[in-house]
Chain A
Amino acid sequence: MISESSSFVKGMVLGGLFCVFVTLIGHNKMGHGSKAHHHEHHHIQAPNIEDVSNLSEAERMELSHSIRVYCIILVKPKDLGNWAAVKETWSKHCDKAEFYSSESVKVFDSVVLNTNDMWVMVRNAYKLAYERYKDEYNWFFLAHPTTFAVIENLKYFLLKKDPSQPFYIGHTVKSGELEYVDGDGGIVLSIESLKRLSKIFEDPDKCPEQGGLLWKLSEDKQLAVCLKYTGVLAENAEDSEGKDVFNTKSVGSLIKEAMANHPQQVVEGCCSDMAITFNGLAPNHMHVMMYGVYRLRAYGHNFKDALVFLPPADSDND
């Protein structure tokens, strides 16, 4: 009897220890995985409010005007509905916005690229943008017609960043060794990055004109590869709480996810207050976003912002 009960106890202790061991390994594996992922992810943050709150009105205006954003929106004829919506909404807030289309379209003006290949479109758009505007703008934002962007929040994000440094910013994704910006969330390049990109365009080995015949990379990845050769690395943009500011999904989708994942903190946990982009929007939703971002607000909440942006002329939906 005694030998049985002592065996039982020994068994229990062993079983318990084994359980703890297995649990720890399980947790470590997850922890290690995400830790490793975390370390190799490049993060870049929005400026802190304290850095910029002691400026005069004139200084604020000057600062606001010094950040000049040129917007490239890549379109195809099938995107006509979204093209119109982007034209009528957020693109009005870029310092200059141009639509680069695969082919010419009667209804709208655009820079015609004469190709349907996405990578060739991206490449040529950047090339043209650099050639024509390198002395006029210091930041270059590339987007798709399903994206909604808040350019003022982009400018705030770029406030303390020197455009003569090589920046390549957005919502990043890791694919093996390559970290690239997901085009769905919008891509931001500083003038320095665009300069280096233009140079490497001349090297067809490092940065091919058409993606390889057999092995084609997506245009987002191809861009990252070309930039990497010039020493420019992708950085994931976050606010002061670590939330992504470039989003590859719409507010509605993110809210739906939040309702499922953390129902007690849906709005607080969903998205950044300083979000720059959302993606996957139908034309009607762009108009709702325009109202929601630039007009709808709760009376009596005032902000001491470091920058000042005035509403654009000839517009009534913002």
Chain B
Amino acid sequence: MALGGFKGSWLAFHVGIMTGFISTFYLLNGLLWPRPRGAESQTPHPDVWVVQHPALLSAGHPHLSGGQDRGVSMTAAELYSKVRILCWVMTGPSNLETKARHVQATWTRHCNVVLFMSSVWDDGFPTVGLGTKEGRDQLYWKTIRAFQYIHQHHLEQADWFLKADDDTFVVLDNLRWLLANHTPEEPVYFGKRFKPYAKQGYMSGGAGYVLSKEALRRFVEGFRTKVCTHTTSVEDLALGQCMEKMGVQAGDSRDAAGRETFHPFGPESHLTGKFSKSFWYWKYCYYPIVEGPQCCSDLAVSFHYVSPELMYTLEFLTYHLRAYGYRFRYQPPLPENAARLLQRQARPKAANATLLVQGTKRL
């Protein structure tokens, strides 16, 4: 039947065109356009992190390779290996993609080791599961468990142990500079010092605080011997009270010009804000409050209430954008212990050590 046959091959031809077009389209799509990263693919970038579940070990200080900042990063590199900091970030399942992800992409890259602490385990992110619930009233429980976990699994990987929130921004290189003048055997901890409720004061939780290895040991020991217990859910105050009981000193984190380094608010608030006289902050600060540009050290360590967008902005301002050739006003002298620390590294030439000191001399 000629007519039927003709109709059949006509149909087949057109079906063929469609099939050919569609299959080629999908073929080209797969080859030419990169598949967009789905929400499922969460694993950390292999160039940045060495994953030792659930800990992330920095694959190398991000600015040591020279590369785009075409700078001589000698001292930062040495401090990185001499003053090892383990960072742990207080977060939760509902904040992983909205906040913790951006913390992971920015300042935590400068830690020697980082752990994201949540109530539940997440192998992809990755996070540690502390076995608590979520919520403000769980903060101290999470803190206790976090430090215990770190003490049990990561004690030898670092000299100092930093706690931060998922809306805290930290400049690790400046923290190393601060800590270079101390040793991990000292029972001391640093942060933004508040004065009420504790004789030696305590450190603001949101601004982040850092414990020496000895301080961490004593904290864990305190709970083991029940000298410290879960007294209140106000995490920073409770921790401060435990520190006091265990003989750990509340350190002075201000810079050589007496300016604060840990900040409980964002940079805009501190630099331009005028806090009303009735604001609680005035009664809480251990050291006198300075408003305006002298609020904050050039070598600031932390800011709080930092949105994801501000995280990237601060990372850009700290590590990337600069004024070419500019001689900074603030040129801190190299403290004694830091000098010893940096010279302690086996160096064949004495000349190299002098170069370091010269680089930081007052001009």
B198 at interface (Cβ–Cβ under 8 A)? no
With a cutoff of 8 Å between Cβ atoms, the chain B residues found around residue A292 in the complex are 267, 314, 317-318, 321
A3 at the interface (CB under 8 A from B): yes
- Please state if A150 and B323 are interface contacts (CB–CB under 8 Å): yes
Query: How many residues from A make CB contacts under 8 Å with B?
Result: 76
Given the complex of chains A and B, what is the CA–CA distance between A93 and B329 in angstroms?
A: 14
Residues of A within 8 A of B315 (CB): 267
Instruction: Verify A298–B271 contact, CB threshold 8 A.
Output: no
Q: A152 touching B325 by the CB < 8 A rule?
A: yes
Cα-based distance from A255 to B313 in the complex (angstroms)? 7
Of the listed residues B77, B171, B312, B330, the one surrounded by the most CB atoms of chain A closer than 10 A to its CB is B312
> For the complex, would chain B's binding face be called helix, strand, loop or mixed by DSSP majority?
helix
- CA–CA, A317 to B314, complex, Å? 17
The answer to the question of B10 belonging to the interface, with a C-beta cut-off of 8 Å to chain A, is yes
Q: Are A3's CB and B5's CB within 8 A? A: yes
Taking a contact as CB atoms under 8 Å apart, the answer to whether B321 and A275 are in contact is yes
Instruction: List, in ascending order, chain B residues with CB within 8 A of A303's CB.
Output: 69-72, 322
Query: In the assembled complex, which residues on chain A have CB atoms less than 8 Å from the CB atom of B21?
Result: 15-16, 18-19
CB-CB under 8 A from A288, the residues of chain B are 267-268, 271-272
Once A251-B317, A287-B272 are accepted as A-B contacts, the answer to whether A7 and B13 lie under 8 Å apart by CB is yes
B252 interface residue per 8 A CB criterion: no
Minimal Cβ-Cβ distance residue in B for A14: B17
Q: How far is the CA of A256 from the CA of B308 in the complex (A)?
A: 9
* Interfacial chain B residues near A266, Cβ < 8 Å: 105, 312
Query: Which of A112-120, A192-200, A205-213, A308-316 contacts its partner?
Result: A308-316
Instruction: Say whether A16 contacts B20, CB under 8 Å.
Output: yes
| B183 in contact (CB, < 8 A) | no
Residues of B within 8 A of A17 (CB): 20
- Is A285 in contact with B312, judged by CB distance below 8 angstroms? no
Q: Verify if B296 is at the interface (C-beta below 8 Å from A).
A: yes
With an 8 A cutoff between CB atoms, is B163 at the interface?
A: no
Q: Is the CB of A294 within 8 A of B12?
A: no
Check A3–B9 contact: CB distance below 8 A.
yes
B329 touches A299 (CB 8 A): no
Bound-state CA distance A193–B237 (Å) is: 64
Chain B 272-299 interface 0/1 with A at a Cβ cutoff of 8 Å (1 = within): 1000000000000000000011101011
B321 cross-chain contacts in A, Cβ below 8 A: 150, 251, 271, 273, 275, 292-293
Residues of B within 8 A of A153 (CB): 323-324
Q: A11-B17, A19-B25, A291-B271 are in contact. Are A309 and B312 (CB under 8 A)?
A: no
Q: Is the CB of B14 within 8 A of A255?
A: no
9 closest Cβ contacts across the A-B interface? A11-B16, A15-B20, A300-B76, A292-B317, A12-B20, A300-B75, A307-B325, A15-B21, A15-B17
